Amino acid sequence: MSIVYGGIEAGGTKWICALGTSPDDLREIIQFPTTGPEETIGHAISFFRKYQEKGPIAGIGIASFGPVDIDPASPTYGYITTTPKSGWNNTEFVGTVQRMLDTPTLLDTDVNAAALGEYHWGAVQGLGSFIYLTVGTGIGGGGMMNGQLMHGLIHPEMGHIRIPHDWSADPYGGCCPYHNDCLEGLAAAPALEQRWGQPPEILPADHPAWTLEAHYLALGVSNLICTLSPQRIIMGGGVMKQPQLISMVRGNVQGLLNNYVNAPQILEDIDSYIVRPDLGEQSGILGAIALAKQSVQQ
Amino acid sequence: MSIVYGGIEAGGTKWICALGTSPDDLREIIQFPTTGPEETIGHAISFFRKYQEKGPIAGIGIASFGPVDIDPASPTYGYITTTPKSGWNNTEFVGTVQRMLDTPTLLDTDVNAAALGEYHWGAVQGLGSFIYLTVGTGIGGGGMMNGQLMHGLIHPEMGHIRIPHDWSADPYGGCCPYHNDCLEGLAAAPALEQRWGQPPEILPADHPAWTLEAHYLALGVSNLICTLSPQRIIMGGGVMKQPQLISMVRGNVQGLLNNYVNAPQILEDIDSYIVRPDLGEQSGILGAIALAKQSVQQ
């Protein structure tokens, strides 16, 4: 029986569990809504146990919403820590999965995992320094620098950077419970819905919402470029499905940087520099499979 | 004769050249003003050649103002590229030094070099992810992530991130020639001098300039924390010599993050998290010596 890995993409609203080894070999995949931790983790465990009756799973990778403790030396390694998500505060995640499935398990943030998926099979193959930014119900960023996933004191929280907010052009105060008008508070899906009275998926393409959205996202992206000097930036998440948005962001980024960062990738070829994920909706679950492979090597 | 390395700290206003191996073994050190490239590089070459008459120099490290091309695969590796500094645009630096001294030579940005000096002998020994931010005639940032100096598409330009600018509280428009009111445009020494009519070194400690300065720097630092999740931040440079400034920045950073980044280092021990350089004025030249050691290992 050929080797197989398990992946969990643990999101705030839904979970995806899969078995497989690569984009061309995803053997089973299920999806279910996120409820309480016991029930939701239990659901995932049942899926993998059913497979284990037939054969072994070599490792489990988890792409998790956060904040999560990803420091292996910490006593709360693998816990979901201070999330505002009801019931999930201080939830042991990796340890529970590892014990119940008796399988090596590795966890990272959902965005770092998506970045890892795109690194192995998608839009940033061969690059050592890149960012994956997701714009959806929240804004989060991860990626690699010098060929390794971004870890540090905790993990990046790129959605919470402060950007200029022109109150006369946009009197909406922002919706981040911690920072009001940080990038996430101004430009994630809930901000769009509160500001314009309709969710982003039904805002028409010519609505002024998109001009403002492209401006805010470009402020965020240009700050990330100045801070990290990535070789490429992937923009995923539900809000980015608006087809014209990414090209508007590209134009705004060039305007904001104003030729300061003197790289042909930005000055001449920004369509290949700020890109959509190659793996579409599957960056995260495939990143979890890639983490599972790493769990075995550790 | 014991081994010795050469270091060049190439700043926009002055250069420092030194021979030695560590903070306890800096054998010779000279300083001279930055003039044109031929004269200034020539001055450095003469200093090292004089030593070479007595014995070999194992390697040369250069901590350079920028932007510089630090990609070894680039045809303009080791060039100072698009600097606004008169006469220095497109100057071959590493190649010239290496040919004239016939010695392995390695270049990095001044801030990455200062970060490396503090990593070997100063405030961030043993840490793999940290930032060195300098606040002087410009604002620049460098550091390490995952144990390696930050490189990417080019190198970080942390001074040029956009931050909120409250025009009613601060009608000064900023002085960055590329971005007007980016962090550097609002908070580097020239901005202080233009806004308040006197240079920062003579502004009294109770001047309102410092409240505004701490606010802007804290916006920058909290953005860096959200983006990079560093284990520690060093703040150096001339403006940071104002003694009360760093503690004002610390307080503002805690206020801006508002308990979102749930790390005891930030919540409980920020005095050890945002720190001054241990090596004082010598972070850069010692970082150049550390680069020289690396040049030999390559």
- Reported ipTM: the value is 0.95
Tell me the percentage of chain A whose pLDDT exceeds 90.
Answer: 90
B67: pLDDT confidence band, cut at 50, 70 and 90? confident
d(CA B152, CA A270): 16
Whether the per-residue pLDDT at A290 is higher than 80: the answer is yes
CA separation, residue A134 to residues A109, A138, A162, A214, A285 (Å) = 12, 8, 17, 14, 14
Are B178 and A260 inside 8 Å of each other by CB? yes
Q: Strand B5-10 to strand B60-64: parallel, antiparallel, or no bridges (unpaired)?
A: parallel
Q: Strand A139-145 to strand A130-135: parallel, antiparallel, or no bridges (unpaired)?
A: antiparallel
Whether the per-residue pLDDT at A154 is higher than 90: the answer is no
Are A262 and B223 inside 8 Å of each other by CB? no
Most B CBs within 10 Å, among A153, A161, A184, to test the B interface? A153
B187 and chain A in contact, CB less than 8 A: no
Q: How many CA atoms lie within 13 A of A235 on its CB side?
A: 28
Give B196: exposed, middle or buried? Use CB within 10 Å, 0-12, 13-18, 19+: middle
Average pLDDT of chain B to the nearest whole number = 95
Q: Strand B130-135 to strand B274-275: parallel, antiparallel, or no bridges (unpaired)?
A: unpaired
Whether the per-residue pLDDT at B298 is higher than 70: the answer is no
B137 and chain A in contact, CB less than 8 A: no
Residue of A nearest to B219 (CA): A162
CA distance B287 to chain A (A): 20
Decide: A101 and A60 in contact? Cβ < 8 Å: yes
Element (DSSP H or E) covering residue B288: helix B283-297
Whether the per-residue pLDDT at A84 is higher than 80: the answer is no
- pTM score of the predicted model: 0.95
Tell me the percentage of chain B whose pLDDT exceeds 70.
Answer: 99
3-state class (DSSP) for residue A145 = strand
Q: For residue B68, what is the DSSP state?
A: B
A227 and chain B in contact, CB less than 8 A: yes
Give A95: exposed, middle or buried? Use CB within 10 Å, 0-12, 13-18, 19+: middle
Residue of A nearest to B81 (CA): A262
Decide: B192 and A114 in contact? Cβ < 8 Å: no
DSSP lists the bridge partners of residue B42 as none
Measured at the CA of B199, the angle between CA B195 and CA B202, to 5 degrees, comes to 125
d(CA A226, CA A260): 10
Interhelix angle A110-121/A283-297, nearest 10 degrees: 90
d(CA A82, CA A66): 8
Peptide bond just before A264 cis, omega within 30 deg: no
What tens digit of pLDDT does each residue of B74-132 get? 899 999 988 878 899 999 999 999 999 999 999 999 999 999 999 999 999 999 999 99
Average pLDDT over residues B223-252: 97
Residue of A nearest to B262 (CA): A82
- How high is the pLDDT of residue B229? 96
- How high is the pLDDT of residue A297? 83
Return the closest-CA partner of residue A152 out of A230, A69, A84: A69
Which residues 40-99 of A have a C-beta within 8 angstroms of B?
67, 81-82
d(CA A281, CA A261): 31
What tens digit of pLDDT does each residue of A10-54 get? 998 899 999 999 999 999 999 999 999 999 999 999 999 999 999
CA-CA-CA-CA torsion sign (A9, A14, A16, A17): positive
Residue A5, phi-psi category: left (phi > 0), alpha (psi -120 to 50), beta (remainder): beta
Average pLDDT over residues B56-71: 93
Residue of B nearest to A149 (CA): B146
Whether the per-residue pLDDT at A298 is higher than 70: the answer is no
| DSSP E strand stretches across B53-129 | 60-64, 79-80, 91-92, 105-109
| DSSP E strand stretches across chain B | 5-10, 14-22, 25-33, 60-64, 79-80, 91-92, 105-109, 130-135, 139-145, 148-149, 232-236, 274-275
Average pLDDT over residues A100-115: 96
